[in-house]
Amino acid sequence: MVGDGIRKSGKIIMKKFILLPLIILIAGCSNDMDSTIETSTDIEETFNWRLVTSWPKNYPGLGMAPERIADLVEEMSDGQMKITVYGAEEQVPAFGVFDAVSSGSHQMGHSGGYFWKGKVPAAQFFTSVPFGLTADEINAWVNRGGGLELWREIYAPFNIYPIPAGNTGTQMFGWFNKEINSLEDIKGLKMRIPGIGGEVLKEAGGIPVTLPGGELFTALQTGVIDATEWVGPYNDLTFGFHQAAKYYYYPGWHEPGPMLELLINIDAWNSLPKHLQVIIETASKAVNQDMLDEYLAKNNQALTELVEVHGVELRRLPDDVIEEFREISNSILDDLAKEDETISKVYRSYLDFKNNVSAYHKISEDAFVESRNK
Amino acid sequence: MVGDGIRKSGKIIMKKFILLPLIILIAGCSNDMDSTIETSTDIEETFNWRLVTSWPKNYPGLGMAPERIADLVEEMSDGQMKITVYGAEEQVPAFGVFDAVSSGSHQMGHSGGYFWKGKVPAAQFFTSVPFGLTADEINAWVNRGGGLELWREIYAPFNIYPIPAGNTGTQMFGWFNKEINSLEDIKGLKMRIPGIGGEVLKEAGGIPVTLPGGELFTALQTGVIDATEWVGPYNDLTFGFHQAAKYYYYPGWHEPGPMLELLINIDAWNSLPKHLQVIIETASKAVNQDMLDEYLAKNNQALTELVEVHGVELRRLPDDVIEEFREISNSILDDLAKEDETISKVYRSYLDFKNNVSAYHKISEDAFVESRNK
C-alpha cells in the first residue's frame, strides 16, 4: 500500500562502524603490478520523512506537538532522520491525514482518532468519549492497561501504526450566549459541538452544528449559533471568544482528556532501523507529557486573564443537566458497543479500566484534592 | 570536583563520519614515488556510565525507572552509551547517592530530592510537600512553570544537574492498628513517617519514627509502631502490610505527587555530545510518565485485591484531622521559607503555581471528575 510517496533520501553518508576491511593490497610494490585499495563500509541511510497534521501550522499547543517530535527525532538521531511537518491543507486536508498515512503518500500524520469515527468507530475511545478517562487515566489505560495493543490492532487493517502523542487535558464545555439554568434551556440550543458530544446534545433536545474553527467567532457574534466548545482557556483566549459570548461554562464533560495520535505508515515504520523506532516512540511519549504540561501551565494564566482582565463570567452546568448528559452518554456508548465485536472489545477494556481507576482515584488523588481545597 | 571515578570507556569505535586521516604511506609502490592514500575519521567515543540509586535493585516501580532510562539510552544511541544501574548499597548507601554524583565517583544517580533536605532544604519542593502539587501539577510547574530553572540553580553548587524522572502519584496515608476518629487519636500515635509529614504529625501530638522499610512489617506486628506510611497499593501489597495492620487510611496528604530525580554530575554531563544529552533528557521525560502510568494501572489492581481478597478496611481521615494537618503543614512551610532567600524564592514560585493551578483545576479536571462520579 505504500506508494512512491515514501521517499527515503538516496544520500548515503558513511556513518557507524566503518569496519574496514580497508584491504590494502600492496601488491608487490614492484614495477609491474597494480596497487588495489578496497574499502568496505556498513553504510547507514538517512531518512527524510513528511508529516501531515489536522492543525494549522504551528498552532499553539496542538500544532506544536508534531514540531517538537520532529525536533527531538532529528536531535537524538544526530541528523540521521529529518521530519518535515506540514499544517492542515498544506499538503492534504485537515481530515485527510488518516488516508494520507494509510495510502503511504505520507509516512506520518498527527491528529485525533475521533476524526476517523466513520471508518473506525472504536478509534474514538483512544481520543476521548463523554464522561470517560482523564489524561492520566487514558495514559495508564493505553500504555499499561492493554489499550495500545487494541489500538494497534484496529489500525493495522489500514496499514497504520499509532503512537500516543499529546493531550490537552480536560476541555471546557465552552462559550455561551444563553444561560443554562435547567434542562429546558438545552432545548433548541444551537451549539457547535462535534462527535459523540454532539449526539448527546441532540438527544437532550439541542441542535448540534458543525462549523470550522475559523467561522466560530462570527457565528457566535451574529447569533448563527448560541454556543460553541473549543479547547480551553489558552487556545480560547487567542481566538477572542470572550468578545463574542457572555458565559464560559464548565465542566467539559464531552472531552475529559483527549489523547492525540502520531500515525505512521506500517511499511515505512518497518523500514526503519530499531534505534530510530525507539527514538520516535520515546520522543512521542515525552511530547505526550509535554503538551499536557504546557496546557496546564498556560491554561492557568489564560483563565486568570479571561476572568480578571476581560471580566468573563464562569458558570457551572446545573447538576440535573450534567446527570442527563451522563445518562445519554452512557446509553449512546452502550449502543455503539453493540455495533460490532471490535467496538465491543475496546469498550469493555475501556470501561473496566475506567471503573477500576475511578475507584482507586476516589481514595487517592481525588480524595487528596478534595482535602486540599477545603 | 570530578574525581577519577568518571570513567569513560577508553575503547574507541570508529563510528560516524569516518573522515580520515587514515594516512597510509605505501612507501615505494613505484620505483621512485610514494603513493599516499588519505582517509579521514572523526572518531566517536562510547560512554560507559554508572548509575547509583536509593532503591533496592529492580524494586517494582521506583527501582525500574533508572533501568528503563538505561535501556532507552542504550537503544536510542544504538549502543554508543551504556549505563549500568546499581541498587542501594551495591556501591553506595541509599542516601549516599547525592554525594556520589556530586563528587563524581559516579556519573549518575536516581533518587528523591527530599532525602537531601539537610543539605538543600529547598529540594523538598521538587519531590513533594504536604498538601502540595499532584503529579500533573508538579510536572507542569517544573517543566513549564519555571521550576526546573530553580531546581538546576540550587543543585549547581553541588555540581549536579537534575532531571525529573518518575512519579508514584498520590501516596496513601498508610497502615494503622489504631482507629483515627478525632484529633485525640493522633496524640501519642507512633507512626513511621519521614520528612515534613513527620514534623506535621509531631506538631499534632504524634510520635514520628524513622525505620528502614525492611523493619516495618515486624515493627507493625509487634506493636513497636502503631502505623506506617509506605507508597500505595501496588508496593504495599507485595510488602504484606495488610497482614500486620487493621486499617488502610487515606488520603495521602503528606505526599500528593512525589517527583523523582535523575542526578548527573555536571562535568560528566558537559562531556557528552549534544545528541546524547537530548537522548537522556527525553528518555527521562518518557520514564517520568511511564512510572505514573504503571503505578496508576497497578494500584487499581492491587487495591481491588487488598479489599476483595484480603478484606482490607479502607478508612478516610476525619475532616478535623485533615484540617489540623493542613494548617500545621502550611505553617511549617511558611517558617521553612523564612530560613533563607533561596528557599523563599522556590517556595514563592511553588505557591504561586499551586494557587493558580488549583483555581484552574477546580473548573476543569476536578469539576469533571466530580460530575463523573456523582
pLDDT digit string, tens, across residues B324-352:
999 999 999 999 999 999 999 999 999 99
A250-282: pLDDT as tens digits: 999 999 999 999 999 999 999 999 999 999 999
Q: Rounded to the nearest 5 degrees, what angle is found at the Cα of A339, between the Cα atoms of A261 and A205?
A: 85
Residue A213: the pLDDT is: 83
Whether B373 and A353 lie within 8 Å, measured CB to CB: no
A71 contact partners, CB below 8 Å, separation of at least 6 = none
**Cβ density class A29-60: b for 16+ within 10 Å, e for less:** eeeeeeeeeebebeebbbbebbbbbbbbeebb
Nine cell digits for residue B243: 497482614
What DSSP string describes A225-252?
-SEE--S-HHHHHHHTGGGT-SEEEE--
What is the arithmetic mean of pLDDT over A124-152? Answer: 98
Q: How far apart are CA B98 and CA A38, in angstroms?
A: 52
**Which residue has cell 536510542?**
B76
Any chain B CB within 8 A of the CB of A315?
no
Q: Which long-range contacts (CB under 8 A, 24 or more apart) does A234-237 make?
A: A234/A60, A234/A61, A234/A295, A234/A298, A234/A299, A234/A301, A234/A302, A235/A60, A235/A61, A235/A62, A236/A172, A236/A175, A236/A302, A236/A306, A237/A302, A237/A305, A237/A306
Q: What are phi and psi of B16, to 5 degrees?
A: 75, 120
List chain A residues with CB under 8 Å of B300.
353, 356-357, 359-360
The answer, yes or no, to whether residue A322 has pLDDT greater than 50, is yes
Where does B27-173 show beta strands of DSSP type E? Answer: 35-40, 44-45, 47-53, 81-86, 108-112, 160-167
Say whether B76 and A278 touch across the interface (CB within 8 A).
yes
B123-148 confidence digits (pLDDT tens):
999 999 999 999 999 999 999 999 99
Q: Is the peptide bond before A251 cis (omega within 30 degrees of 0)?
A: yes
- pLDDT score of B296 more than 70: yes
Asked if B18 lies within 8 A of A41 by C-beta distance, the reply is yes
Label residue A276 left, alpha or beta by phi (over 0 means left) and psi (-120 to 50 means alpha).
alpha
H-run or E-run covering B69: helix B64-76
For residue range A29-58, what is the model confidence (pLDDT) as tens digits?
Answer: 344 434 444 344 456 789 999 999 999 999
Q: Describe the strand order of the beta sheet including A81-86 as a list of residue ranges.
A: A81-86, A47-53, A108-112, A259-265, A160-167
At B174 the pLDDT is 98
With b meaning 16 or more CB within 10 Å and e meaning fewer, what string describes A132-166? bbbbbbbbbbbbbbbbbebbeebbeebbbbbbbbb
Q: What's the per-residue H, E or C state across A61-76?
A: CCCHHHHHHHHHHHHH
In the structure grid, which three cell numbers stand for residue B163, read together? 532531571
pLDDT for residue B212: 78
What's the N-to-C CA distance of chain A in angstroms?
57
Q: Tell me the pTM.
A: 0.89
Q: pLDDT at position A373, please?
A: 84
- Judged against a pLDDT cut of 60, whether residue B15 lies above it is answered with no
The helix/strand/coil state of A174 is strand
Contact check, Cβ <8 Å, A360/B24: no
Q: Is A292 near chain B, with CB under 8 Å?
A: yes
CA distance B35 to chain A (A): 10
- Chain A residues touching B143 at Cβ < 8 A: 289-290, 293, 297
φ, ψ for residue B120 (rounded to 5)? -135, 80
pLDDT-derived band at A161, boundaries 50, 70, 90: very high
Question: What Rg, from alpha-carbon coordinates, does chain B have?
Answer: 25
Residues 63-82 of A with CB under 8 A from B: 72, 75-78
Looking at residue A192, its amino acid is R
More confident call, A47 vs A13: A47
Q: Side chain identity at A334, as an amino acid letter? A: D
Which residues in chain A have Cβ-Cβ distances shorter than 8 Å to B172?
A: 363-364
- The residues, any chain, with a CB within 8 Å of residue B326's CB and separated by 6 or more, are A371, A372, A374, B130, B131, B253
ipTM given for this complex: 0.88
**Residue B149 contacts residue B272 (beta carbons within 8 Å):** no
B157 burial level (CB within 10 Å; 0-12, 13-18, 19+): exposed
> What are the C-alpha distances in Å from A66 to residues A51, A261, A263, B76, B282?
8, 10, 11, 19, 15
What local confidence, expressed as pLDDT, does residue B288 receive? Answer: 98
pLDDT at A347 over 60: yes
pLDDT at A148: 98
Hey, which residues does B50 pair with through a beta bridge?
Answer: B84
- Min Cα distance B137 → chain A (Å) is 7
Copy the grid coordinates of residue A357: 481507576
More confident residue, B37 or B155: B155
Spatial contact of B262 and B108, defined as CB atoms under 8 Å apart: yes
pLDDT at A43: 64
pLDDT given at position A194? 86
Residue B344: the pLDDT is 98
Query: What is the least distance, in Å, from the CA of A143 to any CA of chain B?
Result: 7
Nearest to B303 among A314, A319, A360 (CB): A360
pLDDT above 70 coverage of chain A, percent? 89
Q: Do A364 and B251 touch (CB under 8 A)?
A: yes
**What mean pLDDT is predicted for residues B310-317?**
97
Q: Categorize the per-residue pLDDT at B210 as very low, low, confident or very high, splitting at 50, 70 and 90.
A: confident
Q: What is the pLDDT of residues A181-199, one digit of tens each?
A: 999 999 999 999 988 999 9
Rounded percentage of chain A residues whose pLDDT exceeds 90: 86
pLDDT above 50 (res A219)? yes
| Chain B interface disruption, residue of A289, A306, A319, A325, most B CBs within 10 A | A289
| Mean pLDDT on B23-41 | 39
Of A16, A293, A353, the CB nearest to B15: A16
Q: What pLDDT is stored for residue B309 in this prediction?
A: 97
Distance, in Å, from the CA atom of A252 to the CA atom of B365, rounded to the nearest integer, reads: 8
Q: What is the widest separation between alpha-carbon atoms in chain B?
A: 104
